[in-house]
Structure 1
């Protein structure tokens, strides 16, 4: 039980460090001190500081995902477009609470192809999030609904990345909704490249 508690304390300490410190300042000693744990316990539980940070990032990001899903389910939306606009506001407003973790997440994406400790939990997280997001948006529970949810998640990721790079230029929810309506009208209208009707 003590070892399990020590592991949890290290993960929680690492999450706090990811949230509040620049990456270059997050050392194994800093994390162990924050956790009130022995430095050697990081190696015992996680193999290395990188292993601990990978788990902490995944645990922290899962919490954010759970918060987002819960808020989206409770939105007073009239239709999908309305729900998407409100959901974007939910996602972007969470940046203030999770900005450090978000930076770690995008750094982890760059490492994922070369580190299965990062890649596998992230892939599993995305796989689990698609059906949950599909249900939250009222899209259904079949494969097409999950594919649509994957596209919504890609929109969220893209907006978050833009907001990290330049918050002054990120699209606000109303502009995203207007852009979405423009795209849908184009899908239902005439293809500008060949003059043919687009079939949807």
Structure 2
């Protein structure tokens, strides 16, 4: 690995251990075995490096959500069964990704204090929405239309963020895939009556 990759890996470890606000450039340099000048050269700033490290961590979590990686998706896209299958997969991944979700909420709660970071993360959210739509719909990300990402993606992202709050706060009472699916089924049935 070169300095760029070493910095990224070191930054990821620092984020998981110390969080965003407590990680210093010196922490990253020590963890990565590089030097301070490398941060500016490769990423422009410590905050830009930490944002890239965070996005990389979140992408890894997203990949662990997708049962399709192992060829395990069994339900047709758009079905309630697929909806259930995907949420069950997401929930199974929560214990291994707890530290990353805690980091996410640190960033949400501290966003006003680090506006330049908040802006970078807001831009990265669209990619997250796109990935979620792709998982649930079975449509590859490059083939998704913008309207699907802006509507369905926001719907899934809202559910995901709410679900993660529940799982971080009290896993024993958090919503299950079965409850989410039944809630959606009832919502659809209610909408069909009107």
Q: Same fold by TM-score, threshold 0.5 exceeded?
A: yes
Contact kept? 2:66, 2:89, Cα under 8 Å = no
Structure 1 residue aligned with 2:117: 117
Structure 2 unmatched runs, 5+: none
Deviations 1:29-75 (A, max 9, x none): 33222211224533554455433322211121123224434638841
CA RMSD, 1 decimal: 2.9
What is the distance in 2 between the residues matched to 1:139 and 1:87?
11
Count of aligned pairs: 185
**1:154 paired to 2:155:** no
1:168 counterpart (172, 175, 191): 172
Q: Which runs of 5+ in 1 are unaligned?
A: 190-197
Contact 1:54 1:118 in 2 (8 A): no
Shift of 1:15: 0.9
Paired position in structure 1 for 2:33: 36
SS of 1:94's equivalent in the other structure is: helix
Q: Distance in 2 between matches of 1:119 and 1:75?
A: 35
CA contact (8 A) 2:67 2:86 kept: no
Question: Which protein has the larger Cα radius of gyration, Structure 1 or Structure 2?
Answer: 1
Q: 2:148 aligns with which of 130, 142, 145?
A: 145
Q: Distance in 1 between matches of 2:169 and 2:104?
A: 14
CA contact (8 A) 1:69 1:133 kept: no
2:15 maps to 1:11: no
Equivalence for 1:98:
97
Q: Is the 1:159–1:171 contact (alpha carbons within 8 Å) kept by the matching residues of 2?
A: yes
Relative to 1, partners in 2 of residues 1:56 and 1:142: Cα closer, same or farther, differing over 3 Å?
Answer: closer
Question: Contact 1:28/1:39 (CA < 8 Å) preserved in 2?
Answer: yes
Distance 1:15 1:85 in 2: 31
TM-score normalised by structure 1 residue count: 0.75
Paired residue secondary structure (1:158): helix
Per the normalisation by structure 2, the TM-score is 0.77
Contact 1:15–1:101 at 8 Å: present in 2 too?
Answer: no
3-state SS, counterpart of residue 175 of structure 2:
coil
